[in-house]
């Protein structure tokens, strides 16, 4: 198992947990030896993933309302997202499964890979703790999280705000950086969006673009142009 442990940057103290996470139910069905499979760990891992992603979005995307946070979380824990993480780890290669399942393409099946990734998360949580599982999950999702930080919703909030305001007046909203703080590598920007002399919203972020997006999101939520 050491090559996989190298890939995930985690060394199991209890190697049986890793073996359980990598055992597909088809192996027991085929051999009639129902010792263990990864379904219970998959159940646990799903809950840990939901918690970690909920916590991350709550702490890092402060301007988004509940509905958008739920949508973002769903995108990051979807079957396709988890399959992508599993493929990045070459997880299918390490799975133990029945010959029939393997012959039918089980090692590349979306549901199989997504379930195995959830089971792996559950195993890391049990072998380590929540902090260890959180570190692993966020490391695997870092590219998606970086993309969300720049554009946290499927729509373009700045574009949507401009379209709404220009249906009222030809004047476009403007964005003004009102403060920046922190060291160079961890700078935080605060931006406000103005329209017709009115401050419609404020937002903060690790880049001006992220802060502008947060400001546009708040403006869309508050709808100050109607007051």
Task: List residues with catalytic annotation.
Answer: 46, 118
Partners of 176 in the beta sheet? 192
Going by C-alpha positions, the residue among 223, 225, 207, 204 that lies closest to residue 215 is 204
Stated as kind and residue range, the H or E segment containing 146 is: helix 142-150
Q: How far apart are the first and last CA of the chain?
A: 62
Q: Which of 51, 212, 202, 35 is nearest to 130 (CA)?
A: 51
Contact 111, 79 (CB under 8 A): yes
Buried b (16+ CB within 10 A) or exposed e, 111-121: ebbbbbbbbbb
Residues 131, 123: Cα–Cα separation, whole Å: 13
Q: Which residues pair with 37 in a beta bridge?
A: none
Taking Cα atoms as reference points, which of 11, 216, 18, 49 lies closest to residue 144? Answer: 49
């Amino acid at each position: 198992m050491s090559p996989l442990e190298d890939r995930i940057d985690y060394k199991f103290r209890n190697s049986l947990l890793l073996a359980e996470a990598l055992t597909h139910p088809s192996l027991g069905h085929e051999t009639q030896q129902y010792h263990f499979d990864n379904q219970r760990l998959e159940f646990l891992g799903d809950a840990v993933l939901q918690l970690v992603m909920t916590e991350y979005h709550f702490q890092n995307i402060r301007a988004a309302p509940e509905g958008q946070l739920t949508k973002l979380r769903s995108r990051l824990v979807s079957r396709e997202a988890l399959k992508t993480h599993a493929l990045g780890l070459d997880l299918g290669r390490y799975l133990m499964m029945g010959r029939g399942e393997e012959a039918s393409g089980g090692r590349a099946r979306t549901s199989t890979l997504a379930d195995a990734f959830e089971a792996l998360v559950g195993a890391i949580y049990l072998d380590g703790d929540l902090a260890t599982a959180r570190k692993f999950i966020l490391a695997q999702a870092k590219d998606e999280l970086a993309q969300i930080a720049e554009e946290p919703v499927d729509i373009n909030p700045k574009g949507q705000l401009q379209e709404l305001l220009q249906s009222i007046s030809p004047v476009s909203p403007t964005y003004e950086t009102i403060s920046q703080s922190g060291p160079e590598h961890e700078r935080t920007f605060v931006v406000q969006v103005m329209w017709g002399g009115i401050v419609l919203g404020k937002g903060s972020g690790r880049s001006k673009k992220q802060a502008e997006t947060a400001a546009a999101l708040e403006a869309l939520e508050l709808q100050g142009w109607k007051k």
